Structures are given as structure tokens and as C-alpha cells.
């Protein structure tokens, strides 16, 4: 690994013990990934602030107590607690305490308490070509694919190490070569399907399964693949696979350059493949509807406005949860009021599949999120049913699972 003079000083402890530990780990990880150089980053997003056990807390404290301070603007992912609505938490007190200590340690190092898995919805998100170090799988794939910023998949721990040093291994998705498409998904569906949100969830599931960690280019879509739909696609792909970047021809910023692919590793995706992928996520029991939850990744302002339009003047017959970030919630206060009047619980700072918020549910949980549907059965032991936002609302009002569009 070639090191700058400043790197050498950091490793010699001249910039403090926290920075020294951090750079040692950046270098060791870089060597494992085959990097020969480090590069400067202009921002970071930290996933390690979510409590997964004592190891994560011990590590953050070690860095914070060693004087570690971030040297680039750094946002924080969801945590285990909703600080705006602490009474929603149903877990044990000891875990809550440690989760709070973990959040404190990251703030002590100078990270911004944004508490969102969708940092790309914040006003100061990175731009085209910016080199950043992001954690959180859905944020990583969005940054690379939709923003044209450059990040590898930074795991917990390495993310904060990059933020404390401003350095990252110059390899893979940080480079042109690593961003080139090496396969294609050719999407061939009836034109009206491109207006269906669930299409993008299904495509994401298939992309993850077929691509693994490869960069794929998708053909057959158009500008109807807007940011929220690409968010859903990427989040699903990063759940069913290790996808960190994809291109959509004619839509994403590098699709005409690095995304151009004419090779023969092509997979045809038709209506049937997509409907099958979606159906596989839903359980097959005949249980009734227990609850509904939307907003994974965190709902955007546009999604909250659309949801408010669907629920206005109506009442949910089952518990209904909506996740969004504290920043986005303050942008659309009247939509939030309408959603709460519907009977929904608005959850900020965290996510309903990682922290005990939904109580014991009697029946299936309906969601519009491929990611939530993917992880909730393992994390929470619930059965899920997938549907569009409209399906979710209609089902909540009627108190039974109703599906329309692609799945009807």
C-alpha cells in the first residue's frame, strides 16, 4: 500500500490514537481488497451506530475515548431507538441503555445525528463523481447508481474509520473499472407495468439474486423509474444480493458510459418472473391481516404526500406504521398530521424491523418494501404479505389483505 506523508504521520500516532487505530484498519481492509492506494473522501455515512451487541459499543467507545474525531461531514444511519417517540420502544431496558450509549459515542466523534437509512434524502447529499465512504446497503447502492457518487460497500467499523481519517481504499466502485456493467437484465413487460411501484421491488429482488455483487445494467425501463422507485429497487437488490451499483439505460447518470454493455451475459426478465419473485416473499398461510408498515427505506417527502392523499378522511382498522427520517418529517408536517389522523404511528430515527416497536402481531404484516419483507420474517418472526402503497392502505381500511395490479 502506498501511503502519503500524512498517512505515515497518522500511523505513527501523531494525529492521535483514535486516528491511528482507524487508519490501521483502513489499510488492513484495503490490502484485503487488493488496493494499492488510498484516496481522499469528502463525506461518510455511518451504519455502525445501530446496536447489534457489545462488540460494536466497545469499538465505538475505544475510538471515542482515544480522541477520534471525524474529519469529513458524516451522517448517521438509523439507530435502535426512536428519540422523538421513545414510548414506542418495547424492548428490554439494558439493550436500550447500550443502544443510547452507542449513539452518544458516535455523536461524541462529531457525526451528525441524522438517524436515517436514506441520507440521500438530505439536502446536502453528495453529487456526481464525489468520493465518499457510505455504510447501509440501500444507501450505498443509491449513492453509486442514482447520484453517481462513488462508494464501496463499507461495513460497520470501516465506515467510521474512513470518517476519522478522511481516507478510503482506492479500489472497486471508487474506480471507473469497478463501475462498469458486466451483465445485463433485459426487462420486457407490458408498458403499464412501468407505472407500478411493485415492478421495481420485484426487479430489485431478481437483480440481487442474479447479480450477486456484480454491476448490472437494466434495459427496458424509462424515466418512470424515479428516485423513489430506484430506491425500492436498490434496497431489494441489496437484500437478496450484495448489489452495490446498477445502471438503468437512459435513466441513471453513468448508464451511457460505464453502464453500456453489449456482452452476452444477459438475463431476460418478463412479467411472469417478476410476479413470481414478488409472490415468493409473501407467506402462504391464510392468516388475517395483523398490521401494515411502510417506509423502508425511510419514506421520502413525496411518498409521505402520496400516502396522505390515499388515507385522507379514512381510518385504519389495523395497526399501521410509517418510517421516515426526522428531517423529512419536518418538511411535510401537514401530510404527517393527515397520516396520524388515519390512525397510523409515525416512527422516526429507527426502523420497525430492527427494534421492538411492533408488538405481538396477530396475523400477517403487509408492507410495500422488498427489504422489509426480506428481513422481517427472520428478525421478528412474522409472516409478510407484499403489496403496493395503495394495496397497503386499502387493506388497512378493510382489515384484510387486498392486492391489485401485478399480483391480482
Partner 1 sequence: MRALVAGKASGELVVLDDGLSFWGGYEPSTGRIVDRSHPQFGQSLVGKIVYMPSGRGSSSSSSVLAEALRIGMAPAGLVLGEPDSILVIGSLVAELLYGVGCPIYVGDRAELGAGVVRLGEP
Element (H, E) at 305: helix 301-311
Cell of 329: 418529517
User: Could you tell me the CA-to-CA distances from 25 to 47, 52, 61, 256 in Å, in that order?
Assistant: 16, 20, 16, 36
190 in contact with partner 1 (CB under 8 A): no
In degrees and rounded to multiples of 5, residue 248 shows phi and psi of -120, 115
CA-nearest of 355, 365, 356, 300 to 138 is 300
Least distance from partner 1 to the Cβ atom of residue 377, Å? 6
Least distance from partner 1 to the Cβ atom of residue 9, Å? 21
In whole angstroms, give the CA distance from residue 256 to residue 248.
Answer: 9
* Residues 377-406 as x/- pattern, contact with partner 1 by CB under 8 A: xxx---------------------------
Q: Which residues contact 123 (CB under 8 A, 6 or more apart)?
A: none
121 in contact with partner 1 (CB under 8 A): no
Contact 103/14 with Cβ under 8 angstroms? no
The alpha carbon of residue 245 and the mean position of all alpha carbons in its chain are separated, in whole angstroms, by 13
In degrees and rounded to multiples of 5, residue 229 shows phi and psi of -70, -40
The residue (of 20 and 125) whose beta carbon lies closer to partner 1 is: 20
- Tell me the window of 8-16, 104-112, 133-141, 305-313 that interacts with partner 1 (CB under 8 A): 133-141
- Tell me the window of 57-65, 284-292, 341-349, 355-363 that interacts with partner 1 (CB under 8 A): 57-65
Count of residues of this chain found to bind partner 1 when the rule CB under 8 A is applied: 44
Whole-angstrom distance between the N-terminal and C-terminal Cα of the chain? 56
Site for partner 1 in 86-105 (CB under 8 A): none
DSSP class of 406: G
13 in contact with partner 1 (CB under 8 A): no
Least distance from partner 1 to the Cβ atom of residue 362, Å? 20
28 in contact with partner 1 (CB under 8 A): yes
152 in contact with partner 1 (CB under 8 A): yes
137 in contact with partner 1 (CB under 8 A): yes
The residue (of 56 and 259) whose beta carbon lies closer to partner 1 is: 56
Q: Which residues contact 95 (CB under 8 A, 6 or more apart)?
A: 51, 80
- Tell me the window of 188-196, 293-301, 323-331, 371-379 that interacts with partner 1 (CB under 8 A): 371-379
Least distance from partner 1 to the Cβ atom of residue 284, Å? 13
352 in contact with partner 1 (CB under 8 A): no
Contact 236/208 with Cβ under 8 angstroms? yes
234 in contact with partner 1 (CB under 8 A): no
- Tell me the window of 58-66, 215-223, 286-294, 341-349 that interacts with partner 1 (CB under 8 A): 58-66
Cell of 43: 463525506
In degrees and rounded to multiples of 5, residue 80 shows phi and psi of -85, -10
In whole angstroms, give the CA distance from residue 401 to residue 396.
Answer: 8
163 in contact with partner 1 (CB under 8 A): no
Pick one of 7, 82, 156, 196: the residue that binds partner 1 (CB under 8 A).
Answer: 156
For binding to partner 1 (CB under 8 A), which residues are involved?
21, 25, 28-29, 32-34, 47-48, 50, 52-56, 58-59, 62, 135-137, 140, 152-159, 161, 169, 212-213, 238-242, 374-375, 377-379
Amino acid at each position: 500500500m502506498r501511503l502519503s506523508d500524512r498517512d505515515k504521520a497518522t500511523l505513527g500516532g501523531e494525529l492521535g490514537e483514535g486516528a491511528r487505530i482507524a487508519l490501521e484498519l483502513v489499510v488492513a481492509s484495503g490490502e484485503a481488497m487488493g488496493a494499492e492506494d488510498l484516496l481522499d473522501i469528502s463525506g461518510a455515512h455511518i451504519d455502525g451506530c445501530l446496536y447489534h451487541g457489545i462488540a460494536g459499543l466497545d469499538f465505538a467507545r475505544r475510538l471515542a475515548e482515544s480522541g477520534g474525531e471525524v474529519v469529513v461531514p458524516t451522517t448517521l444511519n438509523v439507530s435502535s431507538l426512536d428519540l422523538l417517540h421513545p414510548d414506542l420502544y418495547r424492548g428490554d431496558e439494558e439493550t436500550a441503555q447500550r443502544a443510547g450509549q452507542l449513539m452518544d459515542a458516535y455523536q461524541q466523534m462529531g457525526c451528525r445525528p441524522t438517524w436515517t437509512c436514506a441520507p440521500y434524502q438530505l439536502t446536502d447529499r453528495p453529487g456526481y463523481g464525489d468520493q465518499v465512504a457510505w455504510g447501509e446497503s440501500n444507501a450505498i447502492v443509491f449513492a453509486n447508481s442514482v447520484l453517481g457518487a462513488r462508494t464501496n460497500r463499507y461495513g460497520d467499523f470501516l465506515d467510521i474509520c474512513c470518517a476519522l481519517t478522511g481516507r478510503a481504499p482506492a479500489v472497486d466502485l471508487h474506480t471507473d473499472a469497478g463501475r462498469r456493467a458486466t451483465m445485463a437484465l433485459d426487462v420486457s413487460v407490458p408498458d403499464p407495468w412501468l407505472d407500478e411501484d411493485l415492478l421495481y421491488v420485484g426487479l430489485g429482488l431478481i437483480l440481487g439474486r442474479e447479480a450477486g455483487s456484480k454491476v448490472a445494467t437494466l434495459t427496458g425501463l424509462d424515466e418512470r423509474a424515479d428516485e423513489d422507485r430506484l430506491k425500492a429497487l436498490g434496497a431489494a437488490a441489496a437484500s437478496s444480493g450484495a448489489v452495490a451499483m446498477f445502471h438503468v439505460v437512459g435513466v441513471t447518470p453513468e448508464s451511457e458510459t460505464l453502464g453500456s454493455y453489449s456482452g452476452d451475459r444477459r438475463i431476460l426478465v418478463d412479467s411472469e418472473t417478476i410476479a413470481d419473485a414478488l409472490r415468493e416473499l409473501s407467506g402462504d398461510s391464510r392468516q388475517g391481516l395483523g398490521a401494515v408498515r411502510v417506509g423502508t427505506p425511510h419514506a421520502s417527502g413525496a411518498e409521505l404526500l402520496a400516502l396522505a392523499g390515499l388515507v385522507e378522511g379514512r381510518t385504519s382498522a389495523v395497526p399501521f406504521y410509517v418510517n421516515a427520517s426526522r428531517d423529512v418529517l419536518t418538511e411535510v408536517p401537514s401530510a404527517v398530521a393527515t397520516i396520524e389522523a388515519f390512525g397510523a404511528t409515525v416512527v422516526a430515527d429507527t426502523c420497525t424491523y430492527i427494534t421492538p416497536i411492533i408488538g405481538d402481531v396477530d396475523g400477517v404484516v403487509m408492507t410495500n418494501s422488498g427489504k422489509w419483507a426480506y428481513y422481517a420474517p427472520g428478525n421478528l418472526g412474522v409472516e409478510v404479505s407484499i403489496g403496493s402503497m395503495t394495496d397497503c392502505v386499502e387493506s388497512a381500511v378493510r382489515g384484510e389483505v387486498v392486492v391489485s395490479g401485478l399480483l391480482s
